């Protein structure tokens, strides 16, 4: 088998393609022949030792994959060789074969491609938890999504529409604005490149307010952070919910007096911890996602694919914030 692995702290250029023995599944495990592995922002961080979890080296990044089971370990009865599955791994997915706990898999529905399957759980799973459990989104709300053209952002736009919200997408270019509209955004704000000075920050807040309407955004879904967070808080509605999802633009420093003036909530969205702490609630969300996919209300946009030996380029695309939708590494 082959695996793209991190042997030392650094960027994607430090990854090496290694030849390894095929792993043997132990009790309660299955071996998956990987067909597709989606790249997510944690993959940018984990190889630099900047993520919450720091696996022992050498390790492969890639936490979201799809493939076909080709071997099962002792005690596994719910799966068999030939089953198509989706797995959330934390890391290890950038390999042609992986071992996974049998009780942590989801069936890949017939007719759904491996690329789509690998692009579903982390983004849409995060947003089901973030929008519904943390943001308490409901029909008729106005939802402002920052970073609305990336994998998490586009899925937030789609889910916002699926649940009856009016969605304002905030993006960094006309190209990304067009994509957000294709996926259902009702209005779009194009923000300037950070850092923002005081006048630019004020102008962006006014642009958010104009797009969200006189009452403001009931839910702000912040996938970007940095200089963009404060203007978004200034556009929030009375008793709105500000969801902290990610911060590729940097960790924001919010003036907390705004939360008092708006009587708003600031809440974190950590889907991985939620899924581990409440797997039953997470399973309900995932089942709903499959229903939405079948109904055509969501559709992961895979904008770029790379072979395994170029997996570092896929990670670089996310690190440089050039990805639109999902970026996927595919295996032969």
Q: Is the peptide bond before 195 cis (omega within 30 degrees of 0)?
A: yes
Sign of the torsion formed by the C-alpha atoms of 108, 91, 36 and 126: positive
Q: How many CB atoms lie within 10 A of CB 186?
A: 17
pLDDT in single tens digits along all 332 residues of the chain: 999 999 999 999 999 999 999 999 999 999 999 999 999 999 999 999 998 889 999 999 999 999 999 999 999 999 999 999 999 988 999 999 999 999 889 999 999 999 999 999 999 999 999 999 999 999 999 999 999 998 999 999 999 999 999 999 999 999 999 999 999 999 999 999 999 999 999 999 999 999 999 999 999 999 999 999 999 999 999 999 999 999 988 999 999 999 999 999 999 999 989 999 999 999 999 999 999 999 999 999 999 999 999 999 999 999 998 889 999 999 98
C-alpha span between 299 and 107 (Å, rounded): 17
Largest CA distance in the chain: 64
How distant, in Å, are the alpha carbons of 28, 69, 206, 225 from that of 106? 15, 12, 44, 32
Q: Which of 182, 36, 48, 52 is nearest to 113 (CA)?
A: 36
Q: How far apart are CA 41 and CA 46, in angstroms?
A: 9
pLDDT at 52: 83
The pTM assigned to this predicted structure is 0.89
Residue ranges of domains in the chain: 2-120+300-330, 122-272
Q: What's the pLDDT at 53?
A: 85
Q: Which of 239, 246, 292, 323 is nearest to 128 (CA)?
A: 292
Helix axes 151-162, 174-182, angle to 10 degrees: 40
CATH number of 2-120+300-330: 3.90.180.10
Q: Is 54 helix (H, G, I), strand (E, B) or coil?
A: coil
**Fold for the domain defined by 122-272:** Quinone Oxidoreductase; Chain A, domain 1 (3.90.180)
């Amino acid at each position: 088998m082959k695996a793209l692995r991190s042997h030392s702290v650094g960027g994607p250029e430090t990854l090496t393609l290694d030849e390894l023995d095929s792993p043997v599944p132990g009790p309660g495990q299955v071996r998956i022949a990987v067909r597709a592995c989606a790249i997510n922002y944690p993959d940018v961080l984990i190889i630099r030792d900047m993520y919450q979890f720091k696996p022992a080296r050498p390790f492969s990044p890639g936490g979201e994959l799809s493939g076909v089971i080709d071997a099962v370990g002792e005690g596994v009865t719910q799966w068999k060789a030939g089953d198509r599955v989706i797995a959330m791994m934390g890391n290890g997915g950038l390999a042609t074969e992986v071992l996974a706990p049998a009780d942590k898999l989801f069936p890949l529905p017939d007719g759904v491609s491996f690329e789509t399957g690998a692009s579903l759980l982390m983004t849409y799973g995060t947003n089901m938890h973030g929008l519904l459990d943390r943001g308490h989104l409901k029909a008729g709300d106005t939802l402002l999504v920052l970073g609305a053209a990336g994998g998490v952002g586009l899925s937030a736009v789609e889910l916002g529409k699926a649940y009856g919200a009016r969605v304002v997408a905030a993006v960094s270019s006309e190209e990304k604005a067009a994509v957000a509209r294709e996926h259902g955004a009702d209005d779009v704000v194009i923000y300037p490149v950070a850092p923002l000075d005081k006048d630019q920050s004020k102008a962006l807040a006014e642009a958010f307010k104009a797009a969200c309407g006189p009452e403001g955004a009931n839910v702000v879904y912040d996938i970007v952070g940095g200089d963009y967070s404060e203007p978004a808080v200034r556009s929030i509605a009375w008793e709105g919910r500000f969801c902290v999802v990610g911060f590729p633009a940097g960790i924001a420093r919010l003036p907390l007096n705004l939360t008092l003036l708006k009587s708003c909530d600031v809440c974190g969205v950590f889907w991985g911890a939620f899924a581990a702490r409440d797997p039953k609630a997470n399973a309900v969300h995932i089942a709903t996602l499959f229903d939405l996919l079948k109904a055509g209300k969501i559709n992961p946009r895979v904008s770029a694919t790379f072979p395994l030996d170029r997996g570092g380029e896929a990670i670089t695309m996310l690190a440089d914030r050039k990805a639109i939708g999902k970026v996927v590494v595919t295996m032969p």
